[in-house]
Amino acid sequence: MPYSVEEREALIRRYEEGPNKLRDAFARVPRDAWKWKPEPHRWSAHEVVCHCADAETNAAARIRYLVAEKNPAIQAFDQDRWAEVLDYDSERVELALAAVDVARARTAGLLRRLPEQAWASEGTHSEAGRYTAEDWLKVYAEHLEKHAAQIDRVVEAWRAEQTKPG
C-alpha cells in the first residue's frame, strides 16, 4: 500500500537526519578503536563508515534509475567483498563521511522535488525482485540509523575487551 504524504515526509526526514546520526556515532569512537574488529570477519567502525559511503553512492544512483528510467534493473552488490577488495581499512574516513553527506544532501533535494507519480516508479532488484521508489525510501530512511547503532555496538564490544583481565 502506498505511503501517505505524511508517512513519506517522515521517512524523508529520517533520511535527511541519517548523516548526523552516523557522524555522531563515529565521533563517540575512541581513536584507538577506529579499526578494531569485534571478530575477524566483522567490520570495524571505520569500515562501517566506508561501507556507508559506497552504499549511499549506490543508493543515490538507484533512486535516480527508479524514477528516470523505465523498469530499470537495480544491481545488488556484495558489501563484504567491496570492503575487502576496495580496502576500506586504508580509506580516509573523513572522505567517506563527506561522501555520505553529499550523496544524502543531493538526494534529499531530489526526493522533495519528485512529483507524486514518481513514487510509484519501479524496477527489478537483482536479489529482491520488484523494487519501487517507496521500497527504496523505506530501506534508506533507516540505513544510516542501523549503521550508527552498529558502530555503537562495536565501541561497546571494544570497551568490554579493554576491561578483560590479561
Q: Which fold has domain 5-162?
A: Four Helix Bundle (Hemerythrin (Met), subunit A) (1.20.120)
What is the model's pLDDT at position 59? 98
Strand-pair partners of 123: 131
137-155 per-position pLDDT tens digit: 999 999 999 999 999 999 9
Given a cut of 90, whether residue 16 has pLDDT beyond it is yes
Residue range 82-126, pLDDT digits in tens = 999 999 999 999 999 999 999 999 999 999 999 999 999 999 999
Residue 115 DSSP symbol? -
In the chain, domain spans: 5-162
> What pTM does this model have?
0.95
